[in-house]
Structure 1
Amino acid sequence: MGIKLIAFDMDNTLLTSSETLLDSTKTAVSKALDKGIKVVICTGRPLAGVTPFLNELGIKGDDQYVITYNGAIIETASGKPLIKHLINKDEYNKLVEYGDRNDIQYYALDDNSNVYTGNRDISRVAVLQAWENNAGIFVRTPDELPDNFQAAKFDYVGEQDKLDQEEPILTKNFEDQFSVVREGTIFLAVMNQMASKGSGLRNLAKRLDLTPDQVMAFGDERNDISMFKYAGTSVCMENGTDEAKGFADYITGDHNHDGIFQALEKFVF
């Protein structure tokens, strides 16, 4: 039946190391759009961190889609929400308390791309997130937030050695209540239990009346594995982790050297 939807992780997949789009990538995406294929960015970022690249790629309107916050929100490219799975205030408080008790810095993103943290000594990672998303940082303790506060994604952050040590303990404590996934060396993401890139992709495909064999997914990290498990064709970048590569059908070139273009030429065009 052919590929009808292509899902792309952003960082270190769709984007180069300098967070730009290769000309070959833009050409390939344009070619896919011209064929009527849905091109869906599936990312841990919020919409504000995705929109400049949607514009550059010509992905726009309510008939194109984005999966943000690691699958917590599915929305149209113009920002109309379709499905939301959020963390409520009590759950947020529990995650903050764990971070404070175990000296792990954190930040959270709400569904409007805003960054929140209770850390007074703000992590450089939280600052980077705010910069990437053109957002400010709200330094608030849980008591300073309204009772109806909700977070789309909560990230524990720290240097790799610290998170390597904490990850199995934290996952064991929270895996029955939340979706927990390592996004990279310095990010450990926590979402609503219903949220993952794979579940987001599955829900969107179902909404569009597509089957897994009509879906292709690109990624490089552990948070992309759930997409790889769902999609009929899964492609890992050469720069991806060994664990992610183990779940991929095909390994393409790296994100700095036409990997997207190479795989689309092989499987789609």
Structure 2
Amino acid sequence: MNNGASFHECYETIKILDKIDFEIAYRILLNSNDAFVSLKTKYLTVIIKQRLLNKNGTSCEYIESLALKMISKFGLDISQKLFDALENINNLAEFENIVNFAKENKIKLSDIYVKKATIPVLKRTLEIKFLGGRIKGIDRLKLGTYLDSLLDQSWTFEQLHDFFNIVNESNSQDRARYSIFVLEIILHYKIFPKKENYDKISTTLKNSAESWLKEINKIAVEATFSDRIRVKTSRELIQEFESGNSHIKNLKNLGEEKLRSLIEKIK
């Protein structure tokens, strides 16, 4: 073992030794070039196997590789807290996505605050926690609620991440206050994040912050009406016509093909 190990490393290792099979721990202590890392990795493999609901088809190599990735990037504390946040792991690939997300976005110990949740719930809380930290000076609870609702309305983490990137490029001192109003408008009008709407919003945010509300309201109105106005198909028109005129006896004799032909001529 490494004689230069810190007290913290020794303490962490002592805490987990009784969770590892004695023979395995003994071999690691004798043979490993970095026994502390190897023991912690083995400990995480034990936890993964305990929490994993569907073990069929999951190789030991994959589990050990994931455990090593977690120890190498997070150490024991964050790794342990990620496991504590979940009641179980029903899909190891989805859990690895959580690990990758936490790694890419530098998730801290304090960012993980749920316990015994599902993987989707943990992912959502981490997304909201990260996005909420992108801008300062606004009501954190309100922002978290808005972000949760937007994610429910099919806005993606990447889109909202980009939203705050653009907001933070603004020179306006009131950009935080205006940005929360923009989110309110998007939510109120249920603006769907299709490319056309998203591009318009992104372009608007690159302008003066003082103009955001007026321009976003315009986008909201346009998006709302464009989503509602849609040309009905012949089939829909026939069903509507038949429903509204069911009392006419001779209507049935026309047949759908005849009605469709008449409608197409009118259109």
Normalization by structure 2: what TM-score? 0.23
| Structure label with greater radius of gyration | 2
More helix by share: 2
> Whose RCO is larger (CA < 8 A, sep 6+)?
1
More strand by share: 1
Normalization by structure 1: what TM-score? 0.22
